[in-house]
Amino acid sequence: MSKDLNIWLDNLLEDIESVQFRRKSSRRVRVDVAAEALPALLELLQGHASYVHLSAITCVDWIEEDEFELIYHLWSYEAHSLVSAHTRIPRDPGVYLSIYDLYQPAAFFERDIHEMFGVYFEGSPDMEKFILTEWNGPPPMRKDFDSEAFVNQTFEWEEYRPKWLEEIEAEGGGITTRPEDVRR
């Protein structure tokens, strides 16, 4: 029964034109859809193909292509297969529809993506800050935010002058290569 469901799903998805479909292994499927068509695809998967479990929503920041990629991972308890639905939205307004009315766990992920990437989900029940309530800077997971530069600006480091180093320096030696020069 579950194998038939997979075969039926493969055939269905191949037929739809605006959907690019690739089965990576017996339990992993990758689907690429346009941003407007994604909620309809998710409704189809949930209602007709038993994909009731939303495992995660991931956001990837493709800064060179000026786009955010949103990936919805759905798992079916009956077909034992995972469908990852990929879609791209332009980086500039960074707004998308929420799927809270289909999948309730989406509220957590959408709130998380909103505060980490700045993507706004219309229709999501709660877009308030959750983890970064004491943070006033830009959305930290974006690729144009440099964490190390921020740290060097905001925090001071502990002075590290151990005795053995002072003894070596008194004899004329010392550190020749600093750690910052070795790291890329």
Partner 1 sequence: MRPENYQAISQPASNEYELNFGPNHPGIEGNYAFRVKLNGDTVVSARADAGYLHRGFEKLMEGRLWIQNIALVPRICVPDPVPMEVCYSLAIEDLCGLEVPERAQWIRVMQLEMSRLAAHLFAFGGHAATTGMYTPMFWGVADRDLILDRFEELTGGRVYSIYNIPGGVRREVPEGFLGRLSSLLDYLESRLPDYDSLFFTNQVFVKRARGVGTLTQEKALKWGVTGPNLRATGLAFDVRRDDPYLVYDRLEFDIPTEQGGDALARNLIRRAELKQSIHILRQVIERLPSVTGPIRAPIPNPLAWNVPAGETYTRVESSKGELAYYIVSDGSDKPYRVHVRGPSAMHAVQVLEKLAIGSRLEDIAQIMFSLDACPPEVDR
Partner 2 sequence: MSELQKIPVQSETTTVGGSAKRTNPLAHVFDDLMNFCRARSMFMLHYCTGCGAIELPPAMTSRFDMERLGIQPMVTPRQADILLITGYVSVKTLKRIILTYEQMAAPKYVIGICSCTVNGGMYWQSYATAKVLKDYLPVDVYIAGCMPRPEAVIEGLKDLMDDIKTGQAENWKRYFQNYDHYLGNQQKLFGEDWQTPTDIIAEARHYGLMTDNTLGEHTALLEKHQRPLEALGMRLKNREKQARE
Instruction: Name the amino acid, one letter, at 102.
Output: L
What is the nearest approach in angstroms of partner 1 to the Cβ of residue 122?
20
Whether the CB-CB separation of 76 and 49 falls below 8 Å is answered with yes
Q: Is residue 61 involved in binding partner 1 (CB under 8 A)?
A: yes
Q: Looking at beta carbons only, is 95 or 131 nearer to partner 1?
A: 131
Q: How far apart are CA 9 and CA 31, in angstroms?
A: 11
The angle formed by the CA atoms of residues 108, 38 and 82, to the nearest 5 degrees, is 70
Window of 4-12, 99-107, 161-169, 171-179 that interacts with partner 1 by CB under 8 A: 99-107
Tokens for 54, please give them: 């939303």
Q: Which residues contact 176 (CB under 8 A, 6 or more apart)?
A: none
Which 127-146 positions form the footprint of partner 1 (CB under 8 A)? 130-134, 140-141, 145
Which chain residues interact with partner 1 by CB under 8 A? 27-28, 52-56, 58, 60-61, 71, 73, 77, 80, 82, 84, 103-105, 107-109, 116, 130-134, 140-141, 145, 147-148
